[in-house]
Structures are given as C-alpha cells and as structure tokens.
C-alpha cells in the first residue's frame, strides 16, 4: 500500500484521490483487498451511543466519499463508522479546478472544492439496499445557488431523502467554500434548519441522531450561543471541527480555501476542549489533524466520544487505521 501512496503523489491531489479510491474498489472486486489488510475483528472495540453500535471509535470524515460510491471498500478497511457527503439536493460541479493543494512538509491540504457531488438521489441509490456493519452517517449541505431560506429547504430536502437509509445525519454549516454558508452559525438560522428537521422527525416518528458540524473559526460568543441552544434545537452532537481559513496556521500558505491536516490539530483541539469544559453533557466527535494514536487519544481526552480522520488517511493511506487502532 505504501508504494501506491508514493505513486499517487505524482498526480494532482484531486486526481490522486480518485485513483486511490478506484484502486481500492478494483482490489475489492478481484478479491485481493483483504490480503492487504488486518482482520477487521482486530479493530473491535465496540461502543454504543444513541442505540447505535460502533465497532470502534475511529471513523472517516465527510469529504472522502461524497457520493457513497466506496462504502464497501471503506468498511473493509476497518472503520467503526463512515460519514458520506457532503451531499446537496442537486448535483453540482463545485468550484473551478485546481482546487486542492498539498503542503506535504507540513502534513496539510488546502481545498476549495465547494460541495462537488452527484446529488442526494445518487447517494441514496448507492446505500438504500445495502447493509453495513459499520455505522453510516450522511453529511448534508446546501446547493451553491440556493440563497436565504432556500438553503433551509435544501437541508430539509436532503434530510427527508436520506434518513431512512443511514444511521445518523450531520448538518454541515461550516464549509468555507460555499459563499456565506458559515453565516448559518447564527442561532436564528440554526433554529430554522432544526425546526424543519425536527418537524420531519416528528411527522415520521423517527429518532435518528442529528449532529452539527461547526467551524473552528467562529468567535467564542458564537460558540457559546450554539452550546446554549444545543438542547432546545434537539441537536444530538457536535462535530468539531471543519477546516480553517486562517492562513496563519499554515506556514507559506498561498492558496485560498479550508486548511486541514496537522496545522488544524491545535486549533480544532482548542475548540473541542472549550466546548467540553463549558458543558460536559454535549456529545462530541473530534476531527482535525489526526495522524497518530497519540493524536487520536488526545481528542478522546479532550472530550470526544468518537474521532474522525480525513487528511491523515489521504496522506498516509489505509495503514493509518492499523497504526491508530492496533499499535
């Protein structure tokens, strides 16, 4: 697997991403993928939250498999849970390429993808008839051309489409690459989103957990407002955090977009710690800059019940799962 990772780095980042996932799919189809992997049972460390049985507490963050095209392969790698998306009501191309940039010497990636995805109908078609041992979440967003209350409609539409076929749903208001999306951190806007979602839950008599993915760049005042209305809005957990647009955390950053990877670790941890110390009852999923077992444990110590990886997986490959869960 290490040889593949080195070869993929000769390609542009977005091309390398697709080639890596396609390689996993091909290996799986010819029944060779398992030869490269430890037995999944070796990763077992089951936890139960919200009546969901997580086979371990390491998951893959949204963004890796936006469309549900590679769930079988990601599950075989041993993740305890897999978050798909971000998915929007209508398919969209995302922002102009190139839009992903590596900073390998700092273990970082900058992206300005802009919710490129095949649309919610495609994602549903990929997961609706399948059963997985891993917990499956779907991360939902708004289309770029949607404005004001149209964005509220987008979240409600996606939620209604996916809730039957996944184990939890994440509301993503924190991508920096869709204009003005982060303004949805405003409590009045959040109230609109979750009022609609909770109405759908009530009408259909469902109790699926709903998480909110937040930005690490928001003010303390904004974060405090969110934690204060957390229970009122019936939010089940916070995912901390999305990428950062603060260039100061990445030396020599010359690209616009969200910074992920090692430079995000400290900033996301500070937010994780702040929220946990303000209210220890808030269920937290930690994400941002996890590359090692120590990083993973650090998130848990700071209050996370579950941990997700993304950039670490992209740069290190599937071996990172074994290194975190087995060493």
Strand-pairing partners, residue 171, are 140, 212
Say how far apart CA 89 and CA 157 lie, in whole Å. 7
pLDDT value of position 107 = 98
Residues involved in catalysis: 175
DSSP 321: H
Multiple choice CATH, 42-325, 3.40.50.450, 3.20.20.70, 3.90.230.10, 3.20.20.450: 3.20.20.70
pLDDT tens, N- to C-terminus, the chain (327 residues) = 666 677 888 899 999 999 999 999 999 999 888 887 766 667 889 999 999 999 999 999 999 999 999 999 999 999 999 999 999 999 999 999 999 999 999 999 999 999 999 999 999 999 998 888 899 999 999 999 999 999 999 999 999 999 999 999 999 999 999 999 999 999 999 999 999 999 999 999 999 999 999 999 999 999 999 999 999 999 999 999 999 999 999 999 999 999 999 999 999 999 999 999 999 999 999 999 999 999 999 999 999 999 999 999 999 999 999 999 986
What residue ranges do the domains of the chain occupy?
42-325
Under a CB-based contact definition with an 8 Å cutoff, are residues 313 and 64 in contact?
A: yes
Q: Which token pair is 48?
A: 């139960």
- Strand segments (E) across the chain: 47-49, 52-54, 58-60, 81-87, 100-103, 108-111, 135-140, 168-172, 210-214, 237-240, 258-261, 284-287, 306-309
Total residue count of the chain as it appears in this document: 327
**Max alpha carbon distance in the chain (Å)?**
53
pLDDT value of position 132 = 85
């Amino acid at each position: 697997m290490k040889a593949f990772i080195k070869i993929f780095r000769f390609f542009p980042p977005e091309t390398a991403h697709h080639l890596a996932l396609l390689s996993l799919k091909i290996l799986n189809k010819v029944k060779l993928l398992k030869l490269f992997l430890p037995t999944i049972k070796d990763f077992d460390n089951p936890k139960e939250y919200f009546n969901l049985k997580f086979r371990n507490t390491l998951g893959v963050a949204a963004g890796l498999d936006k469309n549900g095209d590679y769930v079988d392969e990601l599950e075989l790698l041993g993740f305890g849970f897999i978050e798909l998306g971000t998915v929007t009501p209508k398919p969209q191309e995302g922002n102009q390429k190139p839009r992903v940039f590596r900073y390998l010497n700092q273990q970082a990636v900058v992206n300005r993808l802009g919710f490129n995805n095949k649309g919610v109908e495609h994602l549903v078609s990929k997961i609706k008839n399948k059963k997985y041992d891993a917990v499956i979440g779907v991360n939902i967003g708004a289309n770029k051309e949607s404005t004001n209350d149209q964005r509220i409609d987008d979240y409600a539409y996606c939620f209604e489409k996916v809730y039957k076929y996944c184990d939890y749903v994440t509301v993503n208001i924190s991508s920096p690459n869709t204009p003005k999306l982060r303004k949805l951190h405003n409590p009045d806007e959040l109230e609109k989103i979750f009022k609609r979602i909770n109405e759908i839950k009530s009408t259909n008599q469902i109790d699926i957990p709903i998480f909110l993915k937040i930005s690490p760049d928001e003010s303390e005042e904004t974060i405090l407002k969110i934690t204060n209305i957390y229970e009122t809005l019936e939010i089940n957990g916070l995912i901390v955090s999305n990428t950062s647009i603060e260039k100061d955390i990445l030396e020599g950053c010359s690209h616009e977009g969200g910074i992920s990877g090692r430079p995000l670790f400290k900033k996301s941890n500070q937010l994780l710690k702040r929220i946990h110390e303000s209210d220890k009852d808030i269920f937290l999923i930690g994400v941002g800059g996890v590359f090692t077992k120590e990083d993973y444990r650090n998130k848990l110590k700071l209050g996370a019940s579950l941990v997700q990886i993304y950039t670490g997986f992209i740069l290190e490959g599937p071996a990172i799962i074994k290194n975190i869960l087995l060493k």
